[in-house]
């Protein structure tokens, strides 16, 4: 029965990362201290490291190596192995290519609190105790969300300066530019905590200093565009439903042949605030839903099935795909 139902599908809702894309990620662009650089090769990384101040490099490495769910270990042959999710692996590899020492940086401070990444907040954070006894929070995640939590930024000399409108506009434009090149973007930021910190407290959510933005390449899987075309010719609508940035999602959806000129792309927060009548009007034209929560994905599939009488197939490899 399951096979018959799947063969009768009229709609496929697909996750992006690791489903439509390979999930083999590499940091290929970075914006640190206002410097936007290609960093896909070792020579390009060396060029970046020469152009940013030591204080900024040190803060970047402290952020990458402490605020991570990954690990760098030495195998029996004495070679470094990077363990973790593809995103974490890409960031750790970038940190190592900047000349960072994972264990050395970790040993300089004491880890006090970890708040793992979750698909609702779209960020993760840690608090570390500094050698002098103070506390510092590091956060990373969806670029526009982390940037909105920043009130300061590191300038070209590595100094902490207020995040004015012009600089915020430049960083927002950088995020959009990276995303339009099909890159996943992450923003990294830190906050020095003045009044002490207890592990029972929540990590602060605002007042951060922006360290920089990285653009991560995650290539489309071979054969995806052809598969989407076959589905379309069979009368099956393929929709991308992802937690990623809307510009990244749209760029990859176009590359896959999912997003067409008359198709609609929307963000989860906008989708969930629509009335039922508005949802029924937009869902038939909806081809991409970005920055979606697990509940947004569930709501879309529910309406496709119950209200529009579609037979819906869902594909995805993440825990945020489980509700659907």
What residues act catalytically?
15
**CB-based contacts of 66: which residues, under 8 Å, 6+ apart?**
105, 106, 109, 111, 126, 128, 138
Best CA proximity match to 116, nearest among 185, 67, 72: 67
Question: Can you give the three-state secondary structure of 254-309, one letter per residue?
Answer: HHHCCCCCCCEEEEHHHHHCCCHHHHHHHHHHEEEEECCCHHHHHHHHHHHHHCCC
């Amino acid at each position: 029965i399951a096979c018959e139902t799947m063969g009768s599908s009229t709609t496929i809702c697909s996750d992006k990362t690791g489903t439509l894309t390979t999930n083999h990620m590499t940091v290929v662009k970075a914006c640190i201290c206002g410097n936007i650089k290609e960093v896909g090769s070792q020579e390009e990384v060396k060029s970046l490291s020469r152009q940013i101040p030591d204080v900024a490099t040190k803060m970047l490495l402290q952020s990458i190596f402490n605020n991570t769910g990954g690990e760098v270990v030495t195998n029996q042959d004495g070679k470094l192995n990077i363990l973790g999710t593809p995103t974490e692996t890409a960031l750790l590899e970038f940190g190592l290519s900047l000349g960072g020492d994972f264990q050395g940086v970790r040993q300089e401070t004491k880890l006090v609190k970890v708040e793992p990444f979750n698909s609702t907040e779209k960020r993760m954070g840690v608090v570390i105790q500094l050698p002098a006894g103070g506390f510092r929070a590091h956060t990373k995640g969806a670029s526009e969300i982390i940037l909105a939590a920043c009130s300061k930024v590191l300038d070209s000399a590595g100094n902490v300066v207020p995040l004015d409108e012009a600089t915020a506009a430049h960083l927002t434009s950088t995020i959009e530019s990276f995303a339009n090149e099909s890159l996943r973007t992450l923003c990294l930021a830190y906050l020095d905590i003045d009044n002490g910190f207890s592990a029972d407290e929540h990590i602060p959510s605002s007042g951060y200093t922006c360290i920089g933005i990285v653009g991560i390449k995650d290539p489309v899987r071979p054969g995806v565009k052809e598969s989407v075309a076959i589905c379309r010719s069979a009368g099956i609508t393929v929709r991308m439903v992802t937690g990623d940035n809307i510009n990244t999602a749209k760029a990859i959806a176009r590359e896959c042949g999912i997003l067409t000129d008359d198709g609609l792309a929307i963000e989860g927060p906008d989708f969930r605030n629509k009335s039922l009548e508005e949802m029924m009007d937009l869902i038939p034209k909806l081809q991409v839903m970005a920055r979606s929560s697990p509940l947004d994905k569930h709501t879309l599939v529910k309406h496709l099935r119950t209200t529009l009488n579609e037979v819906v197939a869902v594909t995805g490899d993440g825990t945020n795909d489980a509700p659907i």
